[in-house]
A = this chain, B = another copy of it.
Amino acid sequence: MSRSLRVLVWNEGVHERDDNPPGIGEYYPDGIHGAIAAGLRRLLPDAEVGTATLDDPEHGLTEEVLARTDVLLWWGHIAHDQVDDAVEARVRRHVLGGMGLLVLHSGHYAKVFTRLLGTTCSLAWRNDGQQELVWTVKPTHPVAEGVPSPLVIPEQEMYGELFDIPDPDDLVFISSFAGGEVFRSGVTFTRGRGRIFYFSPGDQDYPVYHHEDVQRVLANGVRWAAAPEGVDRAVPDVTNPGRTWR
């Protein structure tokens, strides 16, 4: 893939704005989006990596921006309902037309994710700052390339089953937590022409996106989710071919 990948990291940005949790600015001085973008720039030096947040006009997700985005990353938590429905529909249309989408952590409840999957996307959770171990169960998948198994995250919120999602195309990672819970923490979906990767580590209370192995997973995800160069970005539509083949 010789072209520059055009990547957009979206974050609601409300935790950082409101200093909630207090001190978040110490480990995320440039916001969650800033840390994610920095990791991608380190590992994908040829990519163009931008950021956008809820407070930007149209949340920074205009038609023009989306049309030149190969892969969108989405982090949201406490402001899902502040995302404009028209913007959500626009993002979803672009995913169905071939824009890659990485949904992160509490983004499991983002409108665009639940609308693309059709289920509640609910899960069990407990925030005790315990160790998370991320085990690779499909090592041939591109998002697992070069990722240690287990990937060790010293402190993280527990996300546990039952994770109410449709069966994924590929189950790549399963996490365990110190409390004994398990979670399908790395799963892929195809919707329309769009490739979707959900990866659960990344709570705002812990500096997870500075973790080099987590950055590796996200960079792998971006490369995997990008449509091949030259693919027409078009939502599938009903057609009457008006001819036959026999």
**Does A89 make an interface contact (CB < 8 A)?**
no
Given the interface contacts A124-B241, A137-B163, A140-B190, does A176 sit within 8 Å of B178 by beta carbon? Answer: no
Does B166 lie within 8 Å of A245, measured CB to CB? no
> A43: CB under 8 A from chain B?
no
Instruction: Say if the beta carbon of A191 comes within 8 Å of chain B.
Output: yes
Give the CA-CA distance A149 to B194 in the complex, in Å. Answer: 19
Q: A117-B118, A182-B174, A191-B118 are in contact. Are A150 and B245 (CB under 8 A)?
A: yes
A25 contacts B by Cβ under 8 Å: no
Contacting pair B120 A237 (CB below 8 A): yes
A142–B228 contact, CB under 8 A?
A: yes
In the bound complex, CA of A109 to CA of B238 (Å): 10
Chain B residues near A149 (CB, 8 Å)? 161-162
In contact, A245 and B180 (Cβ under 8 angstroms): yes
Chain B contacts of A240 at CB under 8 A? 124-126
Option from B128, B140, B160, B181 in Cβ contact (under 8 Å) with A195: B140
Q: Decide yes or no whether A189 CB sits under 8 A from chain B.
A: yes
Is A193 engaged at the interface, CB distance under 8 Å to the other chain? yes
Nearest Cβ on chain B to A78's Cβ, whole angstroms? 14
Q: Determine if A133 is an interface residue (Cβ-Cβ < 8 Å).
A: yes
Q: How far is the CB of A168 from chain B (nearest CB, A)?
A: 9
Find out whether the CB atom of B140 lies under 8 angstroms from the CB atom of A166. Answer: no
Q: Is the CB of A120 within 8 A of B96?
A: yes
**A124 engages B171 (CB within 8 Å):** no
Measured between alpha carbons, how far is A142 from B231 in the docked complex, in Å?
11
A138 CB to nearest chain B CB (Å)? 8
**Can you pick out 29 interface pairs between chain A and chain B where the beta carbons lie within 8 Å of each other?**
A96-B120, A115-B118, A117-B118, A120-B236, A120-B238, A122-B236, A122-B237, A124-B238, A124-B241, A125-B240, A126-B240, A126-B241, A131-B245, A133-B182, A133-B245, A133-B246, A135-B160, A135-B181, A142-B228, A145-B231, A149-B161, A162-B236, A164-B192, A171-B171, A178-B244, A178-B246, A179-B246, A180-B245, A182-B182
Chain A residues in the interface with B (C-beta under 8 A)? 96, 98, 109, 115-120, 122-126, 128, 131, 133, 135-140, 142, 145, 149-150, 152, 160-164, 166-167, 169-171, 174-176, 178-182, 184, 189-195, 227-228, 231, 235-242, 244-246
